[in-house]
Amino acid sequence: MSIASAPLPSSDRADVSAQLREALLAADFTADGLLELLGAPAYTALARSETVPALRATRGDGPLETLVRLFLLQRSVPHARVAAVLPVGPLLEGGWLTAADGEGALRATVDVRPYGGPSGEDWFIVSDLGCAVGGAGGIGSHDEGVVLGVGGASTTLAGLTVRTPVASALDLGTGSGIQALHAAQYATRVTATDLNPRALHVTRLTLALSGAPEADLREGSLFEPVGEETYDLIVSNPPFVISPGARLTYRDGGMGGDDLCRSLVQQAGERLNEGGYAHFLANWQHVDGEEWTERLRSWVPRGCDAWIVQREVQDITQYAELWLRDAGDHRTDPEEYAARYDAWLDEFEARKTRAVGFGWITLRKSGAAEPSVTVEEWPHPVEQPLGETVREFFARQDFLRTHDDAALLAGHFKLADEVVQEQVGLPGAEDPEHVVLRQHRGMRRATKVDTVGAGFAGVCDGTLSAGRILDAIAQLVGEDPVLLRDRTPAQIRLLVEQGFLVPADA
């Protein structure tokens, strides 16, 4: 029997889910509890699909060791040992446990993985056996329709999302339900969709086991299940992999090239309420003769501001190898592997694709006559969660859109928190070659400024207008204040856009 056709626990037994949750918490089967039991080396090794250190750390017979072996390492555990920790009868009846063939022992039917919520919540993510990313069975599966657990992409998207109270949220392509689980904390109504009915079943299990409210679960592709309904928030970690065919539902979108991601972004605009946000992870092609930034700008729907960040670029050979390994194809017959590798390269050659980009796309329904569209490359480390950084970014776009140069000079600004100044130059030189302002929060940007820009930023505390500060700097350096006022607003605008300066009344 394939993983994708194996029976799942019943999603209609809320009482059984509640009993299991109570038992897991009683044994400290939580993210913090796991780290304490396994230790950092074994804990991080498990994230790399290496189970030996975790097996060694769970040789005891305590309750937590039992649960780790049962649900994370997917080992058979003696019946008596399981019964000392879990309500075996209800869990067997509800399908969470099953008898291990001929061993007089029990095993889990699904992977259950502790996950810490943003406010310290103890949640549990359900996925198919062996399909938790970094789980006991490794990453990926050859099975069509398997449901993966939480991976780096899932947590990245969760960290990016603007989390303010909303009436309605849509998790499109919910998978194991992690985004729906997050949304349930601040959205009055959560709708979750997936083309794979098994994923909807698993999402229902994840929500119940985490003690979260039920979501409105709908089967179908992209926006088809929701018709013309609109939402205050849309999130999606779609099957964005650019591949030759829709072989694996959890990753291959079934459309040519990056058409799935493009369609998703373009159609989101009409599904967003005014002021609403849409967050996506996506892949996009770098095509010969075309600027990748312009390709992405063409995706942005009318009436939406956008912030698109490319985090990584891979050449087509790296990309093909990554996803062939993800599915375990490197462990198949060498000739079969080579044929599949060839098919990927044929696909890219036909589309004149030389590389593939990966990153974030955020839309905000502003209705502005001249929307703000920012497309940039930022491969450097950032500080997650970034949701508040994203919200502030769009708030600054609103400010800049409504303030011309004269209004900027009349405005009052403050230096953002945790911005430091660095002076770069030869040792012993009287003046630095250049000055760098650097953020230690959020995107952790750095930008070069001239001495006027550095001096201006250094005295911005909200008390004086930008124009009065420039007049004082002009007097100090012996420069014409009119000329300084003429040439500095562009630099002020850049510092505001990148978050080094914030309007004093923000």
Instruction: State the helix-helix crossing angle for 387-401 and 152-160, rounded to 10 degrees.
Output: 40
What digits encode the pLDDT tens for the residues 292-332? 999 999 999 999 999 999 999 999 999 999 999 877 788 88
What digits encode the pLDDT tens for the residues 72-112? 999 999 999 999 999 999 999 999 999 997 778 999 999 99
DSSP E strands in 132-230: the ranges are: 166-172, 187-194, 216-219
Of 441 and 245, the structure prediction assigns the larger pLDDT to: 441
Mean pLDDT of 390-418: 96
| Calpha distance 49→148 (Å, rounded) | 14
Nearest to 301 by CA among 364, 247, 349: 364
Q: Which residues of 155-189 are buried (b: 16+ CB within 10 A; e: fewer)?
A: bbbbbbbbbeebebbbbbbbbbbbbbbbbbeebeb
Residue 246: pLDDT above 70? no
* Segments in 114-183 forming alpha helices (H): 152-160, 178-183
Which pLDDT value is given to residue 136?
A: 41
Q: Alpha carbon of 325 to those of 311, 328, 434: distances in Å? A: 21, 5, 45
Which pLDDT value is given to residue 326?
A: 79
Displacement of CA 106 from its chain's centroid (Å): 35
pTM over 0.85: yes
Pair of tokens at residue 339: 């044929």
Q: Alpha carbon of 57 to those of 35, 60, 173, 396, 465: distances in Å? A: 11, 8, 36, 49, 61
Burial category of 284 from C-beta neighbours within 10 Å (exposed 0-12, middle 13-18, buried 19 and up): buried
Residue 123, strand partner residues: 115
Which pLDDT value is given to residue 142?
A: 57
